[in-house]
């Protein structure tokens, strides 16, 4: 079957070329680009002539993610979406409301190949990469559906963004384009488990996003066990790449550290972690402490919240800036990966739904 051009993955210049190729005036491309960034359906694009809209339906591929399920937190207004894509694959996005604005957490792959021991997204492996339009579509659709502006993005949903490098870079260019959603690159965080060569590549892109690195351990032995990627790229190599990222971009790198009871949450762990980060980075950093969200299949347990506060204090005392991440949407289970898994299980065993 012939593939129709995926117009939402196109930059305005490319879109102008496409629009010209179907016999329309190139200035229509900008209007179309802006509409797509608003998550509008073709029939909602009212300043485009009907004949052009009909041509688009015929010649272009434009399918926004479909809202399969939606949950709204009664506690803090967090909205969690389970979106289905053209081939029926599902991904999750979470809209979080902060005083300084709304942040959307997006997915970059259907599933994940990285195999981190505590994570729900990787349990069934990676099915496929998302296209730029599928990543952008989550943001556009969430904004359209909620009527809220998306002020910032975190790439902390399902998938490893640097394992889908080209599509993610294109997404970053699309979502930050002033004629599109216009989300400042400085308001975008890209989270990675540590694909070292790709961190060097990212530093060269000239895209000043915040790099957020999932560390979760200070010692290679523990990190090898929790995160298989560490068997390939060791902590020292990873920190070296982060330091280079900072030198190249001037952007402070932040680390995520998920606290897992009895694995990485002792006072000694905090002291060692601070030491490893200070020595490895020699640059300003920030540590986000996350309490493990328990995933039944993994058997790993979360420590008490008090432990996280003590861990943060210990890091601070040892010269490393740290905060405990607030848990939003606790009544809707807003952490990523679990809804998708549930949906997959339901499809395999429809009888068990009731
Ligand atoms: N692949 C990217 C994005 C993953 S999700 C990465 O590895 O950074 C964003 C963060 O949530 C990562 O730090 C990830 O390690 C963490 N995470 C995954 N599962 C978790 C869980 N069950 N509880 C707490 N944090 C988790």
CB-based contact 143:96 (threshold 8 Å)? no
Q: Is residue 94 part of a domain?
A: yes
Q: Which segment of 184-188, 220-224, 325-329 scores lowest on mean pLDDT?
A: 325-329
Greatest Cα pair distance, the chain, in angstroms, is 68
Q: Looking at ligand 1, which atom is closest to the CA of residue 159?
A: 1
Q: Are residues 82 and 224 in the same domain?
A: yes
Do 130 and 230 lie in a common domain?
Answer: yes
pLDDT value at 353 more than 50 = no
Judge whether residue 146 has pLDDT over 70.
yes
Q: Which residues pair with 213 in a beta bridge?
A: 192, 255
Between the CA of 287 and the centroid of ligand 1 the distance, in Å, is 14
Asked whether residue 196 falls in the same domain as residue 299, the answer is yes
Residue 174 is assigned to a structural domain of this protein? yes
In a domain, 1, yes or no: no
What's the token pair of residue 122?
């990787």
Distance between CA atoms of residues 86 and 83, nearest Å: 10
* C-alpha distance across the termini of the chain, in Å: 38
Same domain, 342 and 223: yes
pTM (two decimals)? 0.96
Q: Residue 157 Cα, ligand 1 centroid: separation in angstroms? A: 8
Looking at 92, 134, 256, 314, which residue is catalytic?
A: 92
* Mean pLDDT to the nearest integer, 175-204: 98
Token couple for 330: 């606790």
Asked whether residue 131 falls in the same domain as residue 246, the answer is yes
16/133 same-domain check: no
Ligand 1 neighbours (beta carbon < 6 A): 116, 118-119, 156, 160, 191-193, 214, 256, 258, 290, 292-293, 295, 335
* Domain CATH for 287: 3.20.20.70
Query: What's the confidence (pLDDT) of residue 62?
Result: 98
Closest to 257 (Cα-Cα) out of 287, 231, 283, 281: 287
52 plus 71 within the same structural domain: no
More confident residue, 217 or 345: 217
In a domain, 264, yes or no: yes
Average pLDDT over residues 329-346: 78
18 and 145 housed in the same domain: no
Give the mean model confidence (pLDDT) for residues 50-66: 97
Say if residue 125 is in the same domain as residue 29: no
* 336 belongs to the catalytic site: yes
In a domain, 348, yes or no: yes
Tell me the three state secondary structure of residue 233. coil
pLDDT bin (cut points 50, 70, 90) of residue 344 is confident
Residue 29 belongs to a domain with what CATH number? 1.10.150.530
Return the best residue to mutate from 165, 191, 336 for the ligand 1 pocket (most ligand atoms within 8 A of CB).
191
Residues of the chain above pLDDT 90, percent? 89
- Cβ-count burial of 273 within 10 angstroms (0-12 exposed, 13-18 middle, 19+ buried)? buried
pLDDT at 354: 40
pLDDT in tens, 295-320: 888 999 999 999 999 999 999 999 99
Q: Is the CB of residue 69 less than 8 Å from the CB of residue 330?
A: no
15, 30, 59 - which closes a domain: 59
With bands split at pLDDT 50, 70 and 90, how would you rate the model's confidence at 49?
A: very high
Is 105 a residue of the active site?
no
- Give me the torsion for CA of 39, 45, 47, 51, rounded to 10°: 140
- Whether 2 is covered by a domain: the verdict is no
> Does residue 299 form part of some domain?
yes
Q: In ligand 1, which atom is closest to the CA atom of 227?
A: 15
Q: Are residues 16 and 89 in the same domain?
A: no
Among 94-98, 219-223, 346-350, which stretch is predicted with the lowest mean pLDDT?
346-350
Higher pLDDT, 197 or 2: 197
Rg over CA atoms, the chain: 21
What's the number of domains the chain is made of?
A: 2
212, 116: one domain: yes
Is residue 329 classed as helix, strand or coil in its secondary structure?
Answer: coil
Q: Is a pLDDT exceeding 80 seen at residue 349?
A: no
- Pocket test residue of 108, 119, 163 for ligand 1, highest count of atoms within 8 A of CB: 119
Query: 53 and 197: one domain?
Result: no
- Among the listed residues 285, 291, 293, 292, the one whose alpha carbon sits nearest the alpha carbon of residue 322: 285
Give the pair of three-digit tokens for residue 107: 């997915």
Residue-number span of the structural domain to which 232 is assigned: 66-353
- Is 123 a domain residue? yes
């Amino acid at each position: 079957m012939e593939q129709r051009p995926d117009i939402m993955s196109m930059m305005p210049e490319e879109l102008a070329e496409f629009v010209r190729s179907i016999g329309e005036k190139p200035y229509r491309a900008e209007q179309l680009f802006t509409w797509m960034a608003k998550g509008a359906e073709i029939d909602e694009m009212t300043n485009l002539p009907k004949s052009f809209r009909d041509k688009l339906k015929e010649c272009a591929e434009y399918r926004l993610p479909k809202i399969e399920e939606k949950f709204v937190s009664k506690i803090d207004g967090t909205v969690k979406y389970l979106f289905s894509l053209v081939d029926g694959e599902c991904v999750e996005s979470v809209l979080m409301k902060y005083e300084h604005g709304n942040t959307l957490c997006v997915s970059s792959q259907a599933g994940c190949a990285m195999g981190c021991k505590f994570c729900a997204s990787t349990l069934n492996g990676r099915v496929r990469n998302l296209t730029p339009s599928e990543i952008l579509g989550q943001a556009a659709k969430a904004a359209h559906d909620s009527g809220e502006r998306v002020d910032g993005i975190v790439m902390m949903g399902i998938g490893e963004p640097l394992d889908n490098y080209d599509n993610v870079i294109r997404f970053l260019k699309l979502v930050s384009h002033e004629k599109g959603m216009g989300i400042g690159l400085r308001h975008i965080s890209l989270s990675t488990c540590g694909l070292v060569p790709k961190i060097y590549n990212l530093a060269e892109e000239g895209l000043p996003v915040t790099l957020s690195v999932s560390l979760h351990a200070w010692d290679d032995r523990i990190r090898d066990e929790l995160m298989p990627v560490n068997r390939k790229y060791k902590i020292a190599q990873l920190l070296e790449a982060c330091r280079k990222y900072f030198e190249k971009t001037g952007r402070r790198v932040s680390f995520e550290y998920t606290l897992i009871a009895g694995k990485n949450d002792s006072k000694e762990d905090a002291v060692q972690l601070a030491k490893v980060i200070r020595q490895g980075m020699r640059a300003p950093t920030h540590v986000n402490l996350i309490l493990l969200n328990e995933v039944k299949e993994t058997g790993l347990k979360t420590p008490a919240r008090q432990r996280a506060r003590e861990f943060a204090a210990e890091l601070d005392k040892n010269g490393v800036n740290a905060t405990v991440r607030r848990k939003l949407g606790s009544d809707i289970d807003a952490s990523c990966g679990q809804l998708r898994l549930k949906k997959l299980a339901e499809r395999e065993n429809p009888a068990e739904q009731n």
